[in-house]
Amino acid sequence: MAYLALYRKHRPKNFDEIVGQRAVVTALQNQVKYGQIGHAYLFCGTRGTGKTSTAKVFARAVNCLHPVNGNPCNECELCREAESGFNVIEIDAASNNGVDNIRDLREEVQYTPSQGRYKVYIIDEVHMLSTAAFNALLKTLEEPPEHAIFILATTDPQKVLPTIVSRCQRYDFRRITGEEITMQLRRVAQAESIEADDAALAYIATIADGGMRDALSILDQCHAYYIDRTITLADVEEVLGAVDDRIFTKMTDALIHQDVAALLDGVAEVFDTGRDALQFVTGWNGYLRNLLVMKVLGTRQAGSALSVPADSMERLADQAGQTGRNQIAGWIEQLARLEMQLKTASSRRILIEVAVIRLGSGTYQEETAPAMSFSARPMQKAIPAKPAAVPGVKPAEKPATMTKAAPHQMAQPVSGSRQASGNADVQKFVDAWPRLQDELLRRSPNLMALKHSQMKAGDGPAELILTANMPVYYNQIEAHKEEIASFILEKTGTPYMLRVMKSDQPSGMSWGKEEFTRHIHGDVNFK
């Protein structure tokens, strides 16, 4: 017999084997037990949480000749034949989403089953149906034959027509907890004679992110690599291209001490060892989440909220005492944005390096100040002094050049010469902006709204103001402000503070002839 993947071989055969969905299972089991079967069900939940498996168990249970406490016996003729598709019809709406497919279904559903009480139609990924197909299905759900049961499964219930949802019993499948996944992995490993450390199984459960199918697939993959020995945590990390937890501790220490060189060394280590860039950023953000929980709850309460080893708890507790909760939250927000960018980026290393430079540049405010995005924070890099947040130094002991500005103000430079120098650098950038803007537009054509804006120097030594001439252009530019600021940092090496503002004048009314012509014909340079 051909090899069966673990997630197929260990698919639940009855309600008792379904992991992590006790509320759903109890409701369906009682319906079978007391004969209160509905005609339409909607199963919602993320991938791998048991929607299709539960639907198949339910389909066997409603036709079982000898049900046991609402469970299918899996021994009678109808239970065995259900495994081969008898009275259970599965439809993949992702590839059969047209109105003709549903019309064929409507014609077929009129025929009564040759054996058993019900025909069960499982429509997977039902949200992929076209509007016409939904409307065709609606009529059948309004007046269904007594022998037909429809089970609609979806990962995106918001896309299902409300008229469909209102005719179904809706059951939401929750993400399975890491502990529940770990216990099931241990049972499967014992049944398959797979040797694996508890730490390895716990890590697989974490990576699976609430999906049992993903967890079993990862275990299957690791077993294929290390079939002749015990699977360890390091083995799982090697197979998945994941990053050792210690690199996150190292990177977070560098953030706390604003050591940009150490941050760049950490990025180089990740890429030199061939680790996955997106997994690295996702894992680091998860580590920072644990750090934030530790900071908010404290060591005693965080122990029950965090599923991490004792040595990791000690490292988190030590780092939590060296930083503020708003600062950690700011890091998490920035890395979350970076995750989204990496999903479509080709130059991942550059994006990560730019991001860690910004994170380690000391621009995040202390815990007492309101949280801001990077581009809206006071920038003190123009002042040739150490960053404001110096571990172990009280505010009163800081040098005069490091006086902290109010949240809404720029840090004031020490002397008039430094102010003049900073403004001169900003003006040079403003003069070069038309050329840089053209380069940015070639890279990101979705930023064409920049053609209807003006760049000018702000009041501070490292402040830029981008003025949009109409509200529609302002909204587009504001939505991509982080991308623009990242581009400016990449080109100049200076973390300018970028503000986007609306113009008080109608488009073009306040421009001179040369400036107006340049904005209308952005690709032409007029001398």
Kindly give, in sequence order, each residue whose CB lies less than 8 Å from that of residue 522, ignoring residues fewer than 6 positions away. 434, 437, 438, 441, 451
Cβ(122)–Cβ(90) under 8 Å?
yes
pLDDT in tens, 16-74: 889 988 999 999 999 998 888 888 999 998 888 989 999 999 988 988 888 888 888 88
| pLDDT score of 264 | 92
Q: Which of 471, 474, 478, 480 shows the shortest CA–CA distance to 444?
A: 480
Domain assignment of residue 381, yes or no: no
Does position 506 have pLDDT exceeding 80, yes or no?
Answer: no
Give the C-alpha separation, 223 to 226, whole Å.
5
| pLDDT score of 527 | 34
Kindly give, in sequence order, each residue whose CB lies less than 8 Å from that of residue 440, ignoring residues fewer than 6 positions away. 447, 450, 484, 487
Burial class (CB in 10 A: 0-12, 13-18, 19+), 304: exposed
Q: Are residues 126 and 232 in the same domain?
A: no
Give the C-alpha separation, 150 to 138, whole Å.
11
Measured over the CA atoms of residue 354, residue 359, residue 363 and residue 369, the dihedral's sign is: positive
Cβ(205)–Cβ(182) under 8 Å?
yes
Give the domain-ending residue among 151, 172, 193: 172
Across 243-260, average pLDDT: 85
Q: Which of 346, 463, 330 shows the shortest CA–CA distance to 389?
A: 330
Q: How confident is the model at residue 153 (pLDDT cuts 50, 70, 90)?
A: very high
Domain assignment of residue 116, yes or no: yes
Q: Residue 368 belongs to what H/E stretch?
A: none
Mean pLDDT of the chain: 78
16-20 long-range contacts (CB < 8 A, ≥24 apart) are 16/71, 18/50, 18/53, 18/54, 18/57, 19/50, 19/176, 19/180, 19/181, 19/184, 19/212, 20/49, 20/50, 20/174, 20/175, 20/176, 20/177, 20/180, 20/181, 20/212
Q: How confident is the model at residue 308 (pLDDT cuts 50, 70, 90)?
A: low
Percent of the chain past pLDDT 70, that is, above it, reads 81
DSSP letter at 72 equals -
Does position 513 have pLDDT exceeding 70, yes or no?
Answer: no
Q: How confident is the model at residue 508 (pLDDT cuts 50, 70, 90)?
A: very low
Q: Are residues 187 and 166 in the same domain?
A: no
Q: How confident is the model at residue 298 (pLDDT cuts 50, 70, 90)?
A: confident
Kindly give, in sequence order, each residue whose CB lies less than 8 Å from that of residue 179, ignoring residues fewer than 6 positions away. 205, 307
Does position 462 have pLDDT exceeding 50, yes or no?
Answer: yes
pLDDT in tens, 349-391: 888 998 888 888 755 443 333 333 333 333 333 334 344 443 4
Domain assignment of residue 128, yes or no: yes
> For the residues of 233-251, what is the DSSP string, one character each?
HHHHHHHHT---HHHHHHH
Domain assignment of residue 145, yes or no: yes
Q: Are residues 459 and 508 in the same domain?
A: yes
Side-chain-side CA neighbours of residue 502 (13 Å): 8
- How far is CA 112 from its chain centroid? 45
Domain assignment of residue 314, yes or no: yes
Higher pLDDT, 79 or 420: 79
Across 115-142, average pLDDT: 86
Does position 141 have pLDDT exceeding 80, yes or no?
Answer: yes
Six token digits for residue 212: 């049992």
Q: Which domain holds residue 185?
A: 178-240
Does position 9 have pLDDT exceeding 70, yes or no?
Answer: yes
Q: Are residues 465 and 359 in the same domain?
A: no
Side-chain-side CA neighbours of residue 86 (13 Å): 15
Give the C-alpha separation, 83 to 63, whole Å.
12
| pLDDT score of 27 | 92
Give the domain-ending residue among 123, 142, 172: 172
Q: Are residues 234 and 257 in the same domain?
A: no
What is the CATH number for 183? Answer: 1.10.8.60
Q: Are residues 167 and 64 in the same domain?
A: yes
User: In the chain, how many domains are there?
Assistant: 4
pLDDT in tens, 311-328: 678 888 888 888 888 888
Q: Are residues 272 and 194 in the same domain?
A: no
Side-chain-side CA neighbours of residue 83 (13 Å): 14
Q: Are residues 338 and 256 in the same domain?
A: yes
Q: Residue 331 belongs to what H/E stretch?
A: helix 325-342
Cβ(390)–Cβ(398) under 8 Å?
yes
Give the C-alpha separation, 454 to 501, whole Å.
10
What is the CATH number for 290? Answer: 1.20.272.10
Least confident residue range of 38-52, 237-251, 396-410, 430-444 = 396-410
Domain assignment of residue 465, yes or no: yes
Q: Are residues 51 and 167 in the same domain?
A: yes
- How far is CA 395 from its chain centroid? 38
| pLDDT score of 439 | 85
Percent of the chain past pLDDT 90, that is, above it, reads 9
Give backbone dihedrals phi and psi of 459, rounded to 5 degrees, phi first.
-80, -30
Six token digits for residue 57: 């168990």
Q: Are residues 66 and 153 in the same domain?
A: yes
What is the CATH number for 128? Answer: 3.40.50.300
Place of tokens 């060591």: 299
| pLDDT score of 54 | 92
Cβ(34)–Cβ(27) under 8 Å?
no
What is the CATH number for 424? Answer: 3.30.300.180
Domain assignment of residue 380, yes or no: no
Q: Are residues 168 and 185 in the same domain?
A: no
Q: Which of 58, 166, 53 shows the shortest CA–CA distance to 120?
A: 58
Give the C-alpha separation, 101 to 95, whole Å.
10
Give backbone dihedrals phi and psi of 411, rounded to 5 degrees, phi first.
-65, 130
Higher pLDDT, 124 or 444: 124
DSSP letter at 26 equals H
Across 392-420, average pLDDT: 40
Domain assignment of residue 408, yes or no: no
| pLDDT score of 43 | 93
| pLDDT score of 58 | 92
Does position 110 have pLDDT exceeding 80, yes or no?
Answer: yes
**What angle (nearest 5°) sits at the alpha carbon of residue 511, between those of residues 509 and 512?**
130
Q: Are residues 227 and 318 in the same domain?
A: no
Six token digits for residue 144: 């269904």
